[in-house]
Structure 1
Amino acid sequence: PGESEDNKDYLIYGALTNDKKNRKESLTNSIIRAVLFSEESSPVKNALLKAGLGEDTMTLSTDGLQQGMGICAINTSKNRRDEFFEIIENSIRETVEKGFSKEELLASLNKIEFQLRECDNYPTKGVIYMIQSLESWLYDEDPKIQFKFNKLLDELRDAIDTDYYENFVREKILDNPHKVLISLEAKEGLNTKKDQDVHNALQEYKSSLSEEEIVKIIEENKILEEMQNKEDTAEEKETIPALSLSDIKAKALEIPTEEIQKGKTTILIHDLFTQRIDYFTLAFNLDFIREEEIQPLSLLSDAIGLMDTKNYSYQRLGTEEYLYTGGIHSSLSSYFLEKENSYTKKFSIHAKAKPEFLDKMFDLIDETTRFTKFEDKKRLKEILQMIRLKLENGFVESGHQYALMRNRSNYSQQGAFDEKIGGLSYYDFIVDLEDHFDEKAESLLTCLHELSQKIFNKNKLIVNITTEEKENALKAVEKYLEKLSDLEHEAYDLKFLLEPKNEGITTSANINYVVQTGPLAFPNGYKGSFEVLSNILSNTYLYSFIRAQGGAYGTGMGISRSGRFGLYSYRDPNIAQTLDIYKNLPEIIQGLDLPQKELETFIIGSLNKFDPPTTNATKGKLGLLLYITGQTPEDTKKAMEEAIEADIEEFKEIIPLLKESLDQNYITVIGNADAIGKNKELFDTVRTLKD
């Protein structure tokens, strides 16, 4: 309620293009979808944005035997539907008549090839391969064709020099009679109306029932509740195949790491088999950053690669990126330092490429980090819109993550930093820039430029490399480092003023994300057994009462090394009821009584926290994490041993700490306006997302 309907509609264009059993056409679909609709250089996307049709666009695809592709304009007017259709068709027709850019086709193909060869870097490749095999197997085709892609990629690469792609688009899109044009119309108060309609329908149905029929429904509901509350018997549990603790040994993960010091830069090399793909992370020092620079710094991370540079337009930059690399992106992160009980901050650039393209990869990194032209106000405004829409979608789709972030900022310096770079505070920062764009754009562009010149230097830089061709990778890094200054900045002790408050944050969603967290003062440090306790409570008590009976889509509990305890529910119809369930945790732990075999099952289920399946690329990233945080593989092994040796009585030692944490009553709820309004006494403040 209170949200305007103006320009909040979605317009969708789509076409049914091919049969999944045709592997060549299926891959062609992916290539064309990227070139036409999703990349920054995509003609349809740019034509729609230029016409002001939507604040951003979203590429669409369909799965199943019949595949399609399409594009959605986000936040526009249904009254512009005909214009939307005309712009898309004209843009596609002009592109086909002129002919696709061969480099854009090749960049899209290269991107797909990385995904196929890496299996998207999933550590459980066997499971993913099984799922992929079903894409043809389900339709009575050879399951192995999903993995025979070398010859197919060569065919598609050769086809770039022909009119194959243009003909595909003519036949499958322009001349295709099987297309859709859809408008999704925003309606203020729609969820409230739907709820009321359901309430009225139920009341009408109830009034039509006899007394006997009502009693029967009540009895059936009691039977359902009994079934939901019924414990599985020992005999039923025995039917589930399970490992034994004797099958598992605590071990330190072996990550080969060589540390090299090059002046003020630390280079970490992990010599591992990577299928001739080299992986890099450049972690730039941020110990000098001040509070007023934090959110512009987060914007810088989001904007890198999306603005013109000295030598490339932002559209061309994206093409160059996938012509020569498997992707370049940035991140802004905090890392907990357990031994110092503090945290550190890094601005990281992540990239991967084949060994023969490393020099070009580093040229592109240098181009985006040091030579971005912070001049184009129109482009900056488009980026702000994209960031806002992404955040708004996150609050609705993954609100528990944002609620956890917001809640932890009540009592944690690291939590406050994380919230400012990616939570509600960052969203407010972006919205404020949009609302006052004309007066703030110039100074913001200047700030972004100054930050880029300040951050990207080799003083205290950590370069993390995972490769099987060490000398070649090291040579490329050394060549890149020669371009960077070694400018030193005085360290700054960043401290936030923490202002705890319980918040209700309303969105247009019809569900809630209910979070309660708090600090835990470990008297003897973090123990691996805490993971076992979290696993038990998440999958028994919380699951039964919040998900099975309460109707939430998910729930969980976590205890981190940094001394932060958290509870969350996901897509939850309730608020007060869920918080009451949280409050009972100490009592539940006090009464916890599990047979040894069942305890062992929970222990085994928690061990992936310490020994997760990893690819060699992931091992390299983990090696960097251990280096930055000061943790060692032996620390992980010790925590794993503590988890294996966990027992019920040990869990009870944490009850006073949990009770103290829960009593501090840090509550954050993101969700339905009516539900939050009915529980407003729980909160110090209630606000809409866009306040």
Structure 2
Amino acid sequence: MELQIGKEYSGFKLLERKQIDEINSCGMIFEHQKSGARLFYLENDDDNKVFAISFRTPPEDSKGTPHILEHSVLCGSRKFPVKEPFVELIKGSLNTFLNAFTFPDKTMYPVASTNDKDFSNLMDVYLDAVFYPNIYKTSQIMMQEGWHYEIEDKDAPINYKGVVYNEMKGAFSSPESILFRKISESLFPDTQYGLESGGDPYVIPSLTQEQFVNFHKKYYHPSNSYIYLYGKMDILDRLNFLNDNYLRNFDRQNIDSKIDIQLPFDIQRQMVIKYPILGNEKEEDKTFLSMNFVIGKATNSEEYLAFDILELLLLEMPSSPLKRAIIGAKIGKDVFGSFESSMLQTVFSIIVKNSNKDKAEEFKKVVVNCLRKLVHDGIDKKLIEAAINIKEFGLREANYQGYPKGLVYGMKCMDSWLYDEKPWIHLAYDANIQKIKSALTTSYFESLIEKYILNNDHSSILIVEPEKGLLEKNEKQVREELEKFKNSLSENQLEELIRNTQELKKRQSTPDSPKDLEKIPLISIDDIDHKAKKLEFEEDEECGVKVIYHPVFTNKIVYTNLYFNTSSVKQELIPYLSLLNTVLGRINTENYNYEDLSKAVDIYTGGITYSVETFSKNDSVDKFEAMLSIKTKVLIDNLPKLVELLEEIIKRSKFDDKNRIREIIDETKSRMEMIIFDRGHIVTANHLLSYFSNVGKYQDVVNGIEFYNFIVDLDKNFEQKAEEITNNLKEVAHSVFNKNNLITNITLDKENYDKNRKFLNTLYDNLDSGKVCHNNYKFDLTPLNEGIMTSGKVQYVSKAYNFIELGYKYSGSLQVLKAIANYTYLWNKVRVQGGAYGCFSSFQRNGNMFFTSYRDPNLKDTLKVYDEAGKFIENFNADDREMRKYIIGAISDLDYPLTPSVQGEKVFERYIKGIKYEDIQRERDEVLNTDVNEIKKYSSLINDVMSKNYICVLGNEEKIKQDKDLFNRLTNVFD
């Protein structure tokens, strides 16, 4: 049935319809007549359905109100009064996405599921949360999620606690995060974009309960809402549900959520911001420089896409001319760009990392001179073609950070819809791509550079420089303020604060009533397919090379992955494997300089990526295979060109350009520093595995802290080691790139595979095929138990060991235990009561198991929580309904929808690991048959793992030194 424009359906009037061929969807714009709610539906055949409700929420200050509300509305509502409906949904739904986001000007609540019933449940809980939250009933929600004074007895000091407070302390620990947050402040001093919607940790404690609820009253109304639906569904049923259950209860209001326009500057502004480093860190080469320009409005869809491409063209490719000019002038050691398009006035930034303040003027001069030269002489047309192709390939794949495709489209549509333009203008991109392709014969990009960068005074230079002792000074100021506040309190006021702390802790530790828990909608086990999905594959062979082929429709894209066994590499040269995969495709070859090579790859393919991967053998503690993977995607017609480029990179890369190798080492060091700050929970957990696990040690050497230390050493001693580095890269490449090391993984539909299967033979025939000697690596496994100190304000706390070494076996029921640990025990103890932003557990087939925390204000207390986990599991109890939740949550992780390329990678992973379909089915059966008694038996497993006392903590220097007795050694991660 085709809906009619102008007609009402359950109170929704259909205003417009548009076929969007680029995403094979039909877009429909509705308006709810009574409440004023806007709704956009993208109709298509995708079973992975997406719902989102968003509100325009421009901040009024930097107290973090939009962010704290994003957390808080999901802490109980009218129909679902449990303390954490969000967590109950994670435990017990088949969601393929469940989260919420705070942007500089909006708050977004998206969910996704492939199951119709589950999708309805998710919609219901989220809608009730945003319109009828329990924040009006209890101030303890804002205290927990935002901030509160914590004091347990009158002789103790007062502290600030709160999930968002600690999250933002962590965010403001990273210099990169500080930089990006201050760019907006430098460019938009008079509008909402100059404020911190996430919350400045030094300002958050001024937020009152009254301000908090008033923000919700003002902005969380259907008249200020943007409802998004995507996928294959009965839209009339969804509209009826929205109207009957929610929207008909609201009358249209005139809500002022207007986003102000920042007037242009008369002259470029300059801002200097400090960030903390440790006292023994050097200050040299640790400054960030950025030039930032307000470009235009996000509603200009052509410029929106053009600047996304221009940022890639100028700054993100190996041959990017502006990046090359800045690096060549030795302004800094890493250069990257940013085009911020999710705001009304878009921002283009040129960023230099590992520089110095006195380089600021030279930085500006180099940028201006380089861009003037590009405008005058013209940009290399092959570079333009490469940038457009790589961006167009990405648009068609719509694969962003593993998000469901429908969510990617939903976020993209908000970049216009929020600003009163049609929601599809960034989705219907073909016409704009064609306009931009005129750049291949005209001065299209040169004109943009001239207009928006060279002749644009609405710009800023931002300098973010290190300062020793700054953290201590700031923390001292906070302590003094808290002490002063405490001294100002009367006896009664102090007792009230103590009582508030106790009451909050009581609420946090009191279980929800079974009656309230039963109100959270839950699907049946019968709604789950008891059969595991079978990923078909075939074993083939071409020219003596084994091929693992996964037949699936790929819309004429060939996904070809080459996996080279790396056990032929000498043990002392293992770190060079990661350096090799970092330089491949970014250095000269016999027939290409690296800039031309980069352009050719991006013109003819959808990208080539390189990495070192490890595959633990099924149910084995020690056995693993390490491989250097080269992953490619290309349209079928360009497959011959891909083969030519792969042969050039594998066979003819030249490792003698020492200046280029040095540049890549500098950049690698810089990017790893960002990872260590941003993903400290994963960094510490993986480093901890190296204390006791061979595969963990190997992964740390090629991807973790040990590899970072290796890169730091190469950077420090490059002049002395340059020849050694070159020779080692040559030796490792020669050892690895041998036909006898290779297995190929291809994902493509059957018809096209049969037609194209022999294209790779040229590559196979030209590979070395001499005898390969494989090494049996023996690592020194030592429980270092490190406290790794940084200038950050929070901790990442990990504890781990291998349960198979202790006599236990892997079972699918451990994935149910993981759900219980993550979303009941750790969530309540580490996040809710402890104030950390995140907490996670992992139970792997090879026996490696860990607990880890993210942006955690605690250290010893978190380790105590880990140590008491076994006792919790020993006393664990749950009725059938509660167990069903955990089982469904575990199945949700197993059944996450996979793109064709990821399906192919999963097929290969299982093949190399020796995991058969029977193993996958057995794991699923074990999940589905898990009961309380089986979970309780795991108490001894957790107790035994925790008793090994293997720990690793990354975090605040003062905090780690306070608990130094916990560690075998204290180290600094940064020099």
**Shorter-normalised TM range:** over 0.9
TM-superposed CA distance for 1:81, in Å, is 1.6
In structure 2, the residue matched to 1:424 is 705
CA distance in 2, matches of 1:539, 1:189: 38
CA distance in 1, matches of 2:885, 2:839: 20
- The aligned amino acid for 1:114 is F
- The aligned amino acid for 2:769 is D
Contact (CA 8 Å) 2:545, 2:744: kept in 1 or not? yes
Post-superposition Cα deviations, 1:549-607, rounded to whole Å, max 9, x if no partner, equal 21211001111100111000111111101001100011000111112112111111111
In structure 1, the residue matched to 2:815 is 531
In structure 2, the residue matched to 1:656 is 940
In structure 1, the residue matched to 2:960 is 676
In structure 2, the residue matched to 1:508 is 791
CA distance in 2, matches of 1:58, 1:232: 48
1:379 pairs with 2:650: no
Structure 2 matches for 1:315-334, cutoff 5 A? 315-334=595-614
CA distance in 2, matches of 1:102, 1:501: 53
In structure 2, the residue matched to 1:646 is 930
Contact (CA 8 Å) 2:873, 2:938: kept in 1 or not? no
In structure 2, the residue matched to 1:519 is 802
1:83–1:491 Cα change, 3 Å: closer
- The aligned amino acid for 2:591 is N
Pick one of 440, 444, 451 that aligns with 1:171: 451
TM-score of the pair, normalised by structure 2: 0.69
Pick one of 9, 18, 25 that aligns with 2:303: 25
TM-superposed CA distance for 1:339, in Å, is 5.3
Secondary structure of the structure 1 residue equivalent to 2:539: strand
In structure 2, the residue matched to 1:208 is 488
Secondary structure of the structure 1 residue equivalent to 2:305: helix
Contact (CA 8 Å) 2:542, 2:758: kept in 1 or not? no
- The aligned amino acid for 1:477 is L
1:84 pairs with 2:351: no
1:612 pairs with 2:893: no
Pick one of 444, 450, 455 that aligns with 2:731: 450
Secondary structure of the structure 2 residue equivalent to 1:145: coil
Contact (CA 8 Å) 1:410, 1:499: kept in 2 or not? yes
- The aligned amino acid for 2:914 is G
1:377–1:615 Cα change, 3 Å: same
Secondary structure of the structure 2 residue equivalent to 1:89: helix
Worse-superposed segment, 249-258 or 22-31: 249-258
Secondary structure of the structure 1 residue equivalent to 2:828: helix
CA distance in 1, matches of 2:527, 2:858: 41
Contact (CA 8 Å) 2:650, 2:737: kept in 1 or not? yes
Contact (CA 8 Å) 1:123, 1:613: kept in 2 or not? no
Pick one of 144, 150, 157 that aligns with 2:430: 150
1:14 pairs with 2:292: yes
Contact (CA 8 Å) 1:534, 1:559: kept in 2 or not? yes
CA distance in 1, matches of 2:318, 2:814: 45
- The aligned amino acid for 2:779 is F
1:223 pairs with 2:475: no
TM-superposed CA distance for 1:72, in Å, is 1.1
Post-superposition Cα deviations, 1:174-198, rounded to whole Å, max 9, x if no partner, equal 1112111111121112112111110
- The aligned amino acid for 1:674 is E
Contact (CA 8 Å) 1:123, 1:614: kept in 2 or not? no
Secondary structure of the structure 2 residue equivalent to 1:69: strand
1:572–1:524 Cα change, 3 Å: closer
CA distance in 1, matches of 2:377, 2:516: 67
Worse-superposed segment, 477-486 or 525-534: 477-486
Secondary structure of the structure 2 residue equivalent to 1:242: coil
TM-superposed CA distance for 1:211, in Å, is 1.6
In structure 2, the residue matched to 1:46 is 324
Q: Which has the higher helix share?
A: 1
Pick one of 635, 645, 667 that aligns with 1:354: 635
Pick one of 951, 959, 974 that aligns with 1:667: 951
CA distance in 1, matches of 2:757, 2:892: 33
Post-superposition Cα deviations, 1:51-98, rounded to whole Å, max 9, x if no partner, equal 211111121222312211111111212222222112111111111111
1:367 pairs with 2:648: yes
Post-superposition Cα deviations, 1:273-301, rounded to whole Å, max 9, x if no partner, equal 11111101101122323311201112111
- The aligned amino acid for 2:780 is L
Pick one of 515, 519, 535 that aligns with 1:239: 519
TM-superposed CA distance for 1:138, in Å, is 1.6
Worse-superposed segment, 195-204 or 131-140: 131-140
Secondary structure of the structure 2 residue equivalent to 1:36: helix
1:487 pairs with 2:765: no
In structure 1, the residue matched to 2:841 is 557
CA distance in 2, matches of 1:482, 1:201: 72
CA distance in 2, matches of 1:270, 1:338: 21
TM-superposed CA distance for 1:350, in Å, is 0.5
TM-superposed CA distance for 1:524, in Å, is 6.6
Contact (CA 8 Å) 1:610, 1:637: kept in 2 or not? no
Post-superposition Cα deviations, 1:97-140, rounded to whole Å, max 9, x if no partner, equal 11111111111111111111111264722233222222222222
Contact (CA 8 Å) 2:619, 2:845: kept in 1 or not? no
Secondary structure of the structure 2 residue equivalent to 1:669: strand
1:5 pairs with 2:298: no
Post-superposition Cα deviations, 1:386-429, rounded to whole Å, max 9, x if no partner, equal 11112222211111212112111111111111111111211121
Secondary structure of the structure 2 residue equivalent to 1:185: strand
CA distance in 2, matches of 1:534, 1:579: 18
In structure 2, the residue matched to 1:104 is 383
Structure 2 matches for 1:395-434, cutoff 5 A? 395-434=676-715
In structure 1, the residue matched to 2:352 is 73
Structure number with greater CO (CA < 8 Å, separation at least 6) is 1
In structure 2, the residue matched to 1:337 is 617
CA distance in 2, matches of 1:608, 1:263: 41
- The aligned amino acid for 1:288 is S
Contact (CA 8 Å) 1:255, 1:623: kept in 2 or not? yes
CA distance in 1, matches of 2:756, 2:612: 24
Instruction: Count residues in correspondence.
Output: 691
In structure 1, the residue matched to 2:132 is none
Post-superposition Cα deviations, 1:346-397, rounded to whole Å, max 9, x if no partner, equal 1111011111111111221122222111111111111111111122222111
- The aligned amino acid for 2:664 is I
Worse-superposed segment, 606-615 or 666-675: 606-615
CA distance in 1, matches of 2:712, 2:668: 10
TM-score of the pair, normalised by structure 1: 0.97
CA distance in 2, matches of 1:40, 1:401: 28
Contact (CA 8 Å) 1:610, 1:639: kept in 2 or not? no
Secondary structure of the structure 1 residue equivalent to 2:787: strand
CA distance in 2, matches of 1:612, 1:369: 34
- The aligned amino acid for 1:150 is D
Contact (CA 8 Å) 2:874, 2:938: kept in 1 or not? no
CA distance in 1, matches of 2:949, 2:543: 49
Contact (CA 8 Å) 1:501, 1:684: kept in 2 or not? yes
CA distance in 1, matches of 2:569, 2:443: 53
- The aligned amino acid for 2:461 is L
Post-superposition Cα deviations, 1:469-510, rounded to whole Å, max 9, x if no partner, equal 113431211222122122221222111121222111112222
Worse-superposed segment, 375-384 or 228-237: 228-237
CA distance in 2, matches of 1:612, 1:250: 15
Secondary structure of the structure 2 residue equivalent to 1:476: coil
1:120 pairs with 2:399: yes
In structure 2, the residue matched to 1:248 is 528
TM-superposed CA distance for 1:245, in Å, is 1.0
Worse-superposed segment, 277-286 or 146-155: 146-155
1:543 pairs with 2:827: yes
- The aligned amino acid for 2:471 is N
Worse-superposed segment, 357-366 or 664-673: 357-366
Unaligned regions of 5+ residues in structure 2, if any? Answer: 1-277
Structure 2 matches for 1:52-67, cutoff 5 A? 52-62=330-340, 63-67=342-346
